Amino acid sequence: MEDAIKRNLHDPDRLENLYRENQLQFTTSFRDVYEDIKNQEIARFWQARLTHDISQPKLISWGSRQEIIFIVLASLAAGLLAKLPSFLSISEEFFYPRNIGFIVFPFLIGYFLWKRQADTKIIAGTTVALLLAALHINLLPSDNKSDTLILACLHLPLFLWSLLGIAYSGLAGQPSRRIAYIRYNGDLVVFTAITMLAGGLFTGITVALFSLITPSAPQLFFEYVGIFGVAAVPLVATYMTQTNPELVGKVSPVIARLFSPLVLVMLIIYLIAVVATGKDPYNDREFLLIFNFLLIGVMAIIVFSIGGLPKHENNTASTLVLLLLSGLTIAVNLVALSAILFRLSEWGITPNRLAVLGGNVLIFVHLLLIFTELLKVVRRKHTLTDVENKVAVFLPVYALWSICVTFLFPVLFSFR
C-alpha cells in the first residue's frame, strides 16, 4: 500500500479508490510514508483529511481470508515449535534459552515479508540469516556457565528483532519507515498486554471449571493449550494492529504521555534513594546489573515515547518531559559507565564486562543525540521529525552490536 500511495500521488482518482478499497490500511500506510511525501500539496491534503475525518470506519476489520489463514497456520507452527522439546526429548534447559526467539520472530518476519510483498533478495537474505543464527546458537558448546553462551542467548533476540525491522521497513530502511517500525512495536506491546489479560481470564475460568471434573486439568491445559496460546499472542496482536491501526493507534501516544512523567519522577526518587542508602555500583556487581537494566528500560520508554507523539499537536510539555528524562538518563549512564570502567581497570576484561561496556557506550551516544535534538525542539530550532531521525539513524548500530556479541564473542573469548 505504501508504494501504491507514492506511485499515485499525481492521480487523485486512484488515491481515492485506494482509500475506498481499504480505508484502515490506507490510513496506517499513509501515516507511515507521510514524512517522505509531505512536501507535495496532495499529501498535505490527505494528511488533513485523515487527521480530521470523523467518518472513518469504527467497526473492527478482520482483514482478508488469506491473512487469517496465514496467522492461524503460523500460530500452530509456533506452538509446535515451542513443544519441540517434549516431542523430540530435547532438554528444556538446552532448548529454550537458545531458541525462545525463534518461536516468534521467524513467523512475524514471514508475515511482513508476505504482506508487504518483499523483494526476493530481502526474502533470501532474511531466510539465510535466520538459518545461520539457528545453527550458530544451537552448535555452541553446551556449558550453562559459559558467559559467552549466556551473552549470545541474551543478544540473539535483538538480532532477530533487527531482521524483523528489515522485513517491516525494507533493507534501505528510510527514517520514516524505521519510526513506523518503532510505533508498531509500541502498539504490539499494548495489544499483547490486552490479549494476555483476556487470555489469562479465559484460562482461569477454563481451568477452574475443568478442575471440578479432573484434578489434572490445569497441567493438561497448560501443556497442550496454553503453550499454543502464548506462542500465538504476538502473531495475533500483530495481525490486529495491522488490520485495525485505530484500535491502538491512539492508545500508544496516551501511554507515552502518561508514563514519561511518571518514569521521570520515579527515576529522581530512585537516585535519591540510592544516594541515601549508600548503594555502591562500583563494587556491588548485582546492583550494577540492576542499574543497567533500569537504563535500558528508561531508554526504551524514551524511544517509544518519541515515536508515539503526534506531530500535528502541541507537544511542548511532553517534549520538555522527554528532555529532562533524557538528561537524567545520561547522568545515570555516566555513573554506570564509570562503574564498568572501574571494574575493568581493577579486575580485567571479561566477556560480560566488555558486553556491558559496549552496550552502555551505544546507549550513551544515542541519548546524547536525542537530548541535543530535543533541546533544539524546545528552542524551536528543530521539529520532532528531526528527533525521530536521530532515533531511527542509530537503530542499525544496535543491530551490529548484537551481531558482534552473538556471533563473535564466543569465538573471541574461546567459548568461555
Domain ranges of the chain: 2-52, 65-246, 250-412
Task: Report yes or no: 235 and 193 within 8 Å, Cβ to Cβ.
Answer: no
Q: Residue 294 burial by CB count (10 A; 0-12/13-18/19+): exposed, middle or buried?
A: middle
Residue whose cell numbers read 535500558: 296
* Residues 255, 261: Cα–Cα separation, whole Å: 11
Give the Cα-Cα-Cα angle 257, 263, 265 (nearest 5 degrees). 110
Please give the pLDDT value at position 54: 44
Per-residue pLDDT of the chain (416 residues; tens, 9 = 90+): 777 888 888 888 888 888 877 776 787 778 777 877 888 888 888 888 877 654 444 556 676 788 899 999 999 999 999 999 988 888 989 999 999 999 999 999 999 999 888 889 999 999 999 999 999 999 998 877 789 999 999 999 999 999 999 999 887 767 878 888 888 888 888 888 888 998 888 888 888 888 878 788 778 888 878 889 899 999 999 998 888 776 666 666 676 677 788 888 988 888 888 888 877 777 777 777 787 888 888 888 888 888 767 665 567 788 898 899 999 989 888 988 998 998 888 888 899 899 999 999 999 999 999 999 999 988 888 888 888 888 888 889 999 999 999 999 999 998 87
Please give the pLDDT value at position 129: 96
Please give the pLDDT value at position 404: 95
What are the grid coordinates assigned to 252, written together? 500508544
Contact partners, residue 332, CB within 8 Å, separation at least 6: 267, 271, 291, 294, 295, 298
Distances (CA, A) of 389 to 157, 257, 296: 24, 20, 20
Distances (CA, A) of 240 to 42, 200, 235, 249, 392: 29, 18, 9, 11, 25
What are the grid coordinates assigned to 61, written together? 476489520
Please give the pLDDT value at position 361: 93
What are the grid coordinates assigned to 157, written together? 533476540
Q: Where are the alpha helices (DSSP H) in 348-383?
A: 351-378
* Residues 328, 32: Cα–Cα separation, whole Å: 31
Phi/psi zone of residue 318: left (φ > 0), alpha (ψ -120 to 50 degrees), beta? alpha
Helix (H, G, I), strand (E, B) or coil at 236: helix
* Residues 413, 416: Cα–Cα separation, whole Å: 6
What are the grid coordinates assigned to 260, written together? 514519561
CA atoms in the 13 A half-sphere facing the CB of 42: 13
Residue whose cell numbers read 522485513: 167
As a whole number of Å, the CA-based R_g of the chain is: 23
What are the grid coordinates assigned to 190, written together? 499494548
Task: Report yes or no: 351 and 153 within 8 Å, Cβ to Cβ.
Answer: no
CA atoms in the 13 A half-sphere facing the CB of 44: 4
Please give the pLDDT value at position 55: 47
From the centroid of its chain, how far is CA 263? 19
Q: Residue 29 burial by CB count (10 A; 0-12/13-18/19+): exposed, middle or buried?
A: buried
Please give the pLDDT value at position 314: 62
Contact partners, residue 197, CB within 8 Å, separation at least 6: none
